[in-house]
Chains A and B, each alone.
Chain A
Amino acid sequence: MLGRDHYNLLAGRPELTVPETLPIVCNMSQIPICAIPGDRWKVQDHPLDHEGRTYHFNSAIDRWVFQQNPARYRDHMTLVDRFLAGHIQPMNLMGALQYMNLAPGEIGDDAHQYAWVERYRNHPYQRKAA
């Protein structure tokens, strides 16, 4: 199921290979909360309510680390927390990218202008016989 980017690129729809919203970021690791996609889909939030604030974690381990010393971690705001608090303006994806000093053209574009797409179109992957 995952990896439809090549379909979208073959169809001339590169805009569908980039997001229009933010990923949810783990309050411990600061990386997007992600896991197994496709037919074995197993993505899960590991939330924790602490002193009136709900934190989101990528795993029970991340949550456990937070719980060992909440005072150390509780006040930190992830990119998404800052976005929702109105610290990032304009309050849209472009505003968030600019907040991270990522200008248009620096992300989301293939370094080789998707030259591989035409090679793939002409020679799609074929599983070799064992």
Chain B
Amino acid sequence: MALYPLISNFQHDFVLQLLAVDTENTMDEVAAAAAHHSVGRRVAPQPDKVIRVRRQGDTEFFPRDKKLGESGIKPMECVEFIFADH
């Protein structure tokens, strides 16, 4: 376990934010941590969607159960959080 800072770029939000997560977190857990700082604040909730994680500029999402420490994402890398159907 290790504290891991990322940059959250949340779909529909206006600003990049500092996100403190852990290498043991899954992508779903990382997405939930990012949502805490955006959804319900400046981004409308979309309860029928899930929030998927991808590198900035990528079109492919990481698997939802992929652990951050095994993803290759670097500390303070900008990560995009996107509403998706599944």
Contact = CB atoms under 8 A, between A and B. Distances in A.
Interface of A: 1-5, 8, 16-17, 19-24, 32-39, 41, 43-45, 47, 54, 56, 80, 83-84
Interface string B31-54: 000001100111110000000000
Interface in B1-49: 5, 7, 9, 11-20, 36-37, 40-44
Contacts of A36: 14
- Chain B, interface residues (CB within 8 Å), range: 20 to 34
B65 to A, nearest CB: 25
Contacts of B40: 4, 8, 16
B78 A45 contact: yes
B41 A45 contact: no
A24 B74 CA distance: 16
Contacts of B5: 84
B56 A1 contact: no
B76 interface: yes
- What secondary structure prevails in chain B residues at the interface with A? loop
Closest 4 CB pairs of A and B: A37-B14, A45-B78, A24-B16, A34-B15
Nearest to B11: A41
B12 A1 contact: yes
A21 B18 contact: yes
A43 B41 CA distance: 17
A4 B43 contact: yes
